[in-house]
Amino acid sequence: MNILVIGRGVISSQYAWTFKENGNNIDFYIRPESIDKYKPMLNLKLEDRRKRQPKKNNVSWETNLIYEIPQYHNYDLIFVSVNIEQISSVVKTLNNKVNNATVLFFNNFWEDPIKQTEILPQSQLIFGFPGAGGGTIGANTINGAFTSIIMIGDIGTASKERVQQVYTLFEQAGFSVKRQANFKKFLLNHFLLNVAIEIEVLKEGSFIRLMDSIHALGNISINLRQLKPIIKERGMSYDALNTLLSTISSKIIGIIMSKFIFKSGSTARALMEGNNTITGRSAKLILDEARRKNMHIYILENIRKLLP
């Protein structure tokens, strides 16, 4: 397949490398204003968890960078995995540039994904979610990890052929594809869980310190309880995971997360260890929404000075 990756972010670059290793052709679109930031040579320090025994990869990959999307291209897939604040600009960039490509959005959404992408050809859009994490060391080195499972959502009007095309791409690269039912609810729940975690990262100073603190891990449970009115206002409810995390005693949650979920060598810890991204943007988005709707979320008000 000929694949165009939008940006050269932490998540998209890891999956692009696995696709390249399986024989696909990869181009990265870089905004013209970032020409001086990104060099073709990309260094990847990856923990590959597609198989039972994790594998460490240290790879130097000379990527092909383009700075303008050709009007008449022949890409089979356009791969988008960006931060939520970048979605609208990416959609504008792709407007009238999709041609016959399938477009895979592979990232968080807080607003309705269909509405946020409505100017693009809906019959060519697929929405999914990664099982990867990590961070950057400068602009040209990625320290990341990925699991064997990715999700494809049950929203959108893409044809079975396009959906199967994406399934096959991931499966041939060694991933298992899970069809995620009620994808919009999943996205909202995942976003609020991220915010609950982000609050503690801001207070502790890093993801590592959070994972090493039973008390901070337990606070994730308390944060989820306080964030619950946000999802109720959206007309939805917590899923099984968030319900469990927000119902059980915070002390018990802290112990379970410390001893099992984020223990040394665990998959969850591997996905978060390299994460050095700017923290607080998701929490600020939720705080701003709560204020617009006259909702007082104490835990967010209490950390507002830590937000970007």
Inter-residue contact 42 to 13 (CB < 8 Å): yes
Cβ neighbours around 41 below 10 Å, total: 11
Distance from C-alpha of 283 to C-alpha of 301, rounded to nearest angstrom: 10
pLDDT of 75 > 80? The answer is yes
Domains and CATH numbers, the chain: 2-181 (3.40.50.720), 185-306 (no CATH)
Write the pLDDT tens digit of every residue in 198-247: 999 999 999 999 999 999 999 999 999 999 999 999 999 999 999 999 99
**Average predicted confidence (pLDDT) for the chain:** 97
Distance from C-alpha of 254 to C-alpha of 213, rounded to nearest angstrom: 8
Q: Please state the φ and ψ torsions of residue 71, each to the nearest 5 degrees.
A: -65, -40
Helix axes 183-204, 214-233, angle to 10 degrees: 140
pLDDT of 278 > 80? The answer is no
DSSP string, 278-294: PPSHHHHHHHHHHHHTT
Write the pLDDT tens digit of every residue in 124-181: 999 999 999 999 999 999 999 999 999 999 999 999 999 999 999 999 999 999 999 9
Distance from C-alpha of 124 to C-alpha of 102, rounded to nearest angstrom: 5
Q: Which pLDDT belongs to residue 277? A: 79
* Predicted TM-score of the model (pTM): 0.96
